[in-house]
Amino acid sequence: MNRAPVIAGLGITEMGKVYGRTAPEFAAEAVRLAAADAGIELHEVDGLLTNTGITGDVGLGLQRDLGLRHLRLLSEVQAYGSSAGAMVQYAAMAVMSGMADIVACVFADAPLKDKSAGGGAAYAAAGRRPTGWQGLTAASGIYSANTMYALAARRHMQTYGTTSEQLGHIAVAQRAWAARNPLAQLREPITVEDHQSSRWIAEPFHLLDCCLVSNGGVAVLVTSADRAAGLAQPAVHIRGWGQAHPGYVMGRDSEFGLVSGAALSGPTALKMAGITIADIDVAELYDCYTYTALISLEDYGFCAKGEGGPFVAGGVLGPEGSLAVNTGGGQLSSYYMWGMTPLSEAVIQARGQGGERQAPRNDMVLVSGNGGLLDHHSTLILSPHAR
């Protein structure tokens, strides 16, 4: 029996400012949609891996919500934005070993709350008040992901001369892809001038440097090539994978802000797949900020270290560019489902189901996930072709 791992199902719920539903409800719907997409009965799922977001309430209880019994694999996975890739890796190993036959991997979150007064939306961020030494940085305004990633981006700028305008080219290119994606939350074209005039969030980040906030859920089903052969969708073969957890100390001599985990997880995944970075046709990169996409491009080897700024400003990105990056619009313009944003688009591209945004070549698709403050990283190599 060919137990090579493949992705056989994809479920994406309604996404964005969707109110009145909990994260567990989104998660359950995403798994059901993935099963329907694959053409299987829900009870055929015998493995379940969950990843929860800001709201923190998607966990082992999802098994009961789905009515699944006698699972052979059940676990919560938490490496933040790298978790989607990690879940697929663990599911692949479970399938290869025979531990499970069909494993659902799911992420869901519902941090946006309806703000009836004024018709806007409120972001309900979970977390505790920092104490001790952490309180010192918080008191000076360095507290959120925005401010910490801003420090990382500023260090890259000071070291390599990267500019805000260069980061703007990433936002513009991804919005151009999003304009072709009916699932994207933001589809109106933007220019570098729009990027530069958008309000400051935490210097050097403008609003258009920062990802969306979304309610919703995404799930994928991992099974064996033999099991997928008779299912409804073309199999997406999981050809390689890797992880990296740098353990940066935010000190003067650390590489924080200059090197990401892609520098380690990327070569591991490429070696497993038996290819080089030159063989990649589509790159779906984690882009919580424009800077995150830029440093990932460098560390995967699409350009040399420190040359990411001129590289992205040179016209290589976007639908008319030579490199297909974040073809759905990424987290900047499509939707923010942590690592499931790049993974879901990668599955769509590998299947050849991208419609107007389908990349011209899709033989090898790279997927990146980034968690924490560049603390965790995952890489997948997907392909419509078996090894």
Residues tagged active-site: 286, 336
The answer to whether the CB of 7 falls within 8 A of the CB of 235 is yes
C-alpha closest to that of 149 among 289, 261, 336: 289
Closest-CA residue to 221 (of 364, 91, 332, 357): 91
Q: β-strands 5-12, 216-224: how paired? A: antiparallel
CA geometry: angle at 260 spanning 258 and 263, to 5°? 110
Q: Are strands 102-109 and 73-76 parallel, antiparallel or unpaired?
A: unpaired
What lies within 8 Å, CB to CB, of 197 at 6+ separation is none
What is the secondary structure of 123-150 as a DSSP string?
A: E--------THHHHHHHTT--SHHHHHH
Runs of H (alpha helix) within 119-244: 133-139, 145-160, 164-178, 192-197, 225-228
Contact between 368 and 262 (Cβ < 8 Å):
yes
> Which phi and psi (to 5°) does residue 331 adopt?
-75, -15
Question: Vertex 168, ends 112 and 156: CA angle to 5°?
Answer: 95
Measure CA 135 to chain center.
30
Q: Which residue has the tokens 């700028």?
A: 157
Count helices and strands in the chain by DSSP H and E runs:
13, 14
- Residue 385: which of 204, 268, 239, 254 has the closest Cα? 239
**Residue partners of 183: CB distance under 8 A and separation at least 6:** 12, 15, 328, 334, 335
